[in-house]
Structures are given as C-alpha cells and as structure tokens.
Amino acid sequence: MSKPPIFTSDIPLFPILIAPHARLKAKARAVAKGDDDDVRAIIPRMFATMYTAPGIGLAAPQVDLGLRLLVIDLMPHDKPAPIVMINPEIVAASPELATREEGCLSLPGMYADVTRPARVKVRYLDESGARREMETSELLSACVQHEIDHLDGVLFVDRISILKRNMIMRKLAKEQKLKK
C-alpha cells in the first residue's frame, strides 16, 4: 500500500500498542468540545502511523490515546479516501452476517475469520465537527465495526472462539519475545 502524498512529510508517528497491553482493553472516553485542538493535531499523526504500518484503520486507543476517535482509509483504486470518525456509534445493523478475515495493527501478523453484521449505519462527527451518518457494507463495514470495537476495549480475537484466541495470543507472545 503506498502512502498518500499528503502524509509523506515528517509527521511524527505514534507507537502502536501491542496486545495484551492493558490500555487496549479500556473503554475510550467521548471527545469533548475542549479536545478540538488536540484532535486536530492527532488526526494527521494517526493517518501517518496507519499508512506507515501499513494498515487500513486505526483507533486512538491503539496509540495510547483514550479518545473515541478513529481513522480509516481503504485506498479504493489506490487513491487516498481518508475517513475520520469522532465519537462514532453504530445506530443500525443488518440481520445478515458476513465473515471475513481480519487482522490488526495491535496484533501484528495475526489473522482470523470474524463474523459481524454485513452492513451497519454509523453516526459520527467528522473532523470539522459536522454530524454525519454513513451506511457501510463489505470491507468498510467490517473495518468500521473493528475500529469501533477498539473504542470499547474489544479486540477482534475477543470475537472468535477461546481456543483460536488462545492460539493467536500465544503465537503473538512468542513472536514478540523473539523480537526483543
């Protein structure tokens, strides 16, 4: 995945927390009016961190910021299409389910099939503070649900069987130990 040109400058990157870091299990607080300046400074750093990783989504708790803020860019047709969601909430979910393989920047190299609603409608504030609603499906729906889960202290491995979760967490711990 190539980095969009708007994020190739010397923007400092955030370190990404790796599971089982305790902060990844904490529920993030809502972004408030007094957080505006901080959020404006955080957003470009989150995108730079996500693109560099590389990934398609990043939630503030993954970079040790306990705010209900996430960024997504699926890079359709290899063109940047950044999405910022502040205080997102799922307001409707389809009864139909979809299963797709998920990975996570906080569980590097680990993947598992996760079943979620096939479509969701999400309500959020954009970076200008305007209230927005978006209907999502396919990869965007899974990504939005995955990132909102992070805001609630839920990892994708929390949505799979205990056996699979334990296998992934042991493998991750072993790989992280080898890196040190």
Domains along the chain with CATH numbers: 10-179 (3.90.45.10)
Q: The tokens of 177 are what?
A: 């130990």
- The full length of the chain comes to 180
Q: Is the pLDDT of residue 42 over 90?
A: yes
Q: What is the DSSP letter of 160?
A: S
pLDDT band at 180 (very low <50, low <70, confident <90, very high): confident
Rounded mean pLDDT, 74-88: 95
* d(C-alpha 3, C-alpha 148), whole Å: 24
Q: Is the pLDDT of residue 8 over 60?
A: no
Q: Annotated catalytic sites, by residue? A: 147
Q: Are residues 157 and 110 in contact, defined by beta-carbon separation less than 8 angstroms? A: yes
Q: Is the pLDDT of residue 3 over 50?
A: no
Residue that has been written with the tokens 């990975």 in this structure: 103
Confidence (pLDDT) at 179: 84
Q: What is the tens place of the pLDDT at every residue in 104-155?
A: 999 999 999 999 999 999 999 999 999 999 999 999 999 999 999 999 999 9
pLDDT band at 9 (very low <50, low <70, confident <90, very high): low
* d(C-alpha 158, C-alpha 23), whole Å: 15
Kindly report the average pLDDT of the chain as a whole number.
94
Half-sphere exposure of 162 (CA within 13 A, CB side): 0
pLDDT band at 31 (very low <50, low <70, confident <90, very high): very high
Rounded mean pLDDT, 78-92: 96
Confidence (pLDDT) at 10: 83
Q: What's the pTM? A: 0.93
